[in-house]
């Protein structure tokens, strides 16, 4: 594929709002996870919560989109100069030539969960002010984002569970390659809700402590929330050295089980291989891998097998979910932004909460930050239903 430039990018997660706060937390090896006190949830687990969402106001003309998920999107869209970059792209290319491709799993379903506590006693009806399309529907955040910038190009939510906002890069790339658009807002937004907290608990996949990806004693994930965005455009062949490029994307399906990965990581392997092939890059030319690394016993062992099969045991890799939690539909985009920061700052973030090596996991797992020049990094995202996606990012395409 022809490389595309991430001309602007930004993220908000439990690590903080914006790129500076995110990079600082990574440099300091600080986790944003805390004991779960979300809403009325009573579960023995840790979460990565974004503080201050209750105080966020959406623009007056977009009030019908008001929900936790779109408030989180609003924060991220307005920081790090991202909104100005989008407006400039819309001016340069025209509003119909800028697409919106966003990943989410639960959208604003928290609003629906709370509304079900207030059904009309006689009729069973939802409260009058409940707005289905503005909050509940998966498209809400993409619609909200498109309207925020008065865009008139294609807009869609990609909803492939925890690979959603990695796959948006692939979908947008295809539309740019097919010359249907010149630029795309890609990203992911997912926010805390009862469905995912109680749902992952029901599958016995949540840890009772801050998640410990790739650790011998890992026993589950910590759920987080995040909004992460990038602006994808074609770029000039010669560019400044700090520019970050999308070099390759790879997608596959496990065809194995709805909520467990293929034990050998067969689907993960073919997604990573496809991303390298798309970029014509050899495995030894990848300097760092940001793992999906959820901290569940099955994910990490399957992913480790897939990585060692393709890369051997030397390529440095880590999961940043010990810092951010698993932000589900936002994880792909959040980790793409972390990889972009890694490329620019020469930081391979060490995986947090790691204590003891699991002899079954043979990858070169970084348990502490490492510095060094990075040219190409890979990030993995795998979702329920066996939906896999790997992205290859790099400098100076």
Partner 1 sequence: MNTLAGCIQAIGLVGPGFTDWSAARAVLSGEVPYVPARTVLAPPAVLPPAERRRAGRVIKIALAVGAEAAAQGAADVRTLPTVFTSSGGDGDNCHEICVTLASGDRQISPTRFHNSVHNAAAGYWSIAYGCTEGSTSLCAGDASFGAGLLEALAQLACGAAAVLLLAYDADYPPPLHAKRPIPDAFGTALLLTRAEETAALARLQIRLSDAAAATMQNPELESLRALIPAARSLPLLQRVAQRRGGTVVLDYLGDVRLAVELQP
Residue 349 binds partner 1 (CB under 8 A): no
Residue 326 is a catalytic residue: yes
344 within 8 A of 293, measured Cβ to Cβ: no
Residue 20 binds partner 1 (CB under 8 A): no
Residue 160 binds partner 1 (CB under 8 A): yes
**Based on CB atoms, which residue is closest to partner 1, 30 or 174?**
174
Residue 241 binds partner 1 (CB under 8 A): no
Residue 18 binds partner 1 (CB under 8 A): no
Catalytic residue among 162, 193, 211, 389: 162
Catalytic residue among 8, 136, 262, 326: 326
Residue 152 binds partner 1 (CB under 8 A): yes
Query: Encoding tokens for residue 144?
Result: 């909200």
Catalytic residue among 8, 136, 262, 292: 292
Residue 80 binds partner 1 (CB under 8 A): no
Residue 124 binds partner 1 (CB under 8 A): yes
Residue 121 binds partner 1 (CB under 8 A): no
Query: Which stretch, 29-37, 176-184, 229-237, 284-292, contacts partner 1 (CB under 8 A)?
Result: 176-184
- Residue from 35, 132, 355, 371 that binds partner 1 (CB under 8 A)? 132
Query: Which stretch, 46-54, 146-154, 240-248, 334-342, contacts partner 1 (CB under 8 A)?
Result: 146-154
Residue 118 is a catalytic residue: no
Residue 292 is a catalytic residue: yes
Q: Which residues bind partner 1 (CB under 8 A)?
A: 1, 96, 105, 109, 112-113, 116-117, 119, 123-126, 130-133, 136-140, 142-143, 146, 152-161, 167, 170-171, 174-175, 177-180, 194-195, 198-200, 202-203, 251-259, 266-267, 270, 274, 383-387
């Amino acid at each position: 594929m022809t490389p595309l430039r991430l001309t602007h990018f930004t993220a908000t997660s439990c690590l903080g709002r914006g790129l500076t706060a995110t990079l600082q937390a990574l440099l300091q090896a600080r986790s944003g996870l805390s004991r779960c006190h979300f809403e009325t949830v009573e579960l023995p687990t840790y979460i990565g919560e974004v503080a201050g969402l209750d105080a966020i106001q959406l623009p007056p003309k977009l009030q019908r989109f008001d929900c936790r998920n779109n408030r989180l999107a609003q924060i991220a869209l307005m920081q790090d100069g991202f909104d100005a970059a989008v407006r400039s792209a819309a001016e340069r290319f025209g509003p119909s030539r800028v697409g919106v491709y966003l990943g989410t799993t639960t959208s604003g379903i928290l609003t629906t969960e709370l509304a079900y506590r207030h059904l009309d006693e006689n009729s069973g009806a939802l409260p009058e002010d409940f707005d289905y399309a503005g909050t509940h529907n998966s498209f809400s955040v993409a619609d909200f984002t498109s309207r925020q910038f008065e865009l008139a190009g294609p807009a869609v939510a990609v909803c492939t569970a925890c690979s959603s906002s990695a796959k948006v890069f692939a979908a947008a790339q295809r539309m740019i390659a097919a010359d249907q658009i010149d630029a795309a807002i890609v990203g992911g937004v997912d926010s805390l809700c009862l469905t995912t907290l109680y749902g992952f608990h029901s599958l016995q996949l949540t840890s009772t402590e801050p998640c410990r990806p790739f650790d011998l004693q890992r026993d589950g994930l910590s759920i987080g929330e995040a909004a992460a965005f990038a602006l994808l455009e074609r770029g000039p062949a010669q560019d400044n050295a700090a520019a970050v490029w999308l070099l390759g994307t790879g997608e596959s399906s496990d065809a194995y089980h709805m909520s467990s990965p293929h034990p050998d990581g067969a689907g993960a392997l073919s997604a990573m291989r496809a991303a390298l092939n798309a970029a014509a890059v050899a495995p030894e030319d990848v300097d760092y891998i940001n793992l999906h690394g959820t901290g569940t016993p099955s994910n990490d062992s399957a992913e480790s097998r897939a990585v060692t099969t393709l890369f051997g045991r030397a390529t440095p890799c880590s999961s940043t979910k010990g810092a951010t939690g698993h932000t589900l539909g936002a994880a792909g985009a959040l980790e793409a932004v972390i990889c972009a920061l890694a490329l620019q700052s020469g930081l391979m973030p060490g995986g947090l909460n790691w204590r003891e090596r699991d002899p079954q996991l043979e990858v070169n797992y970084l348990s502490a930050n490492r510095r060094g020049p990075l040219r190409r990094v890979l990030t993995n995202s795998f979702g329920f239903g066996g939906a896999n996606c790997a992205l290859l990012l790099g400098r100076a395409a």
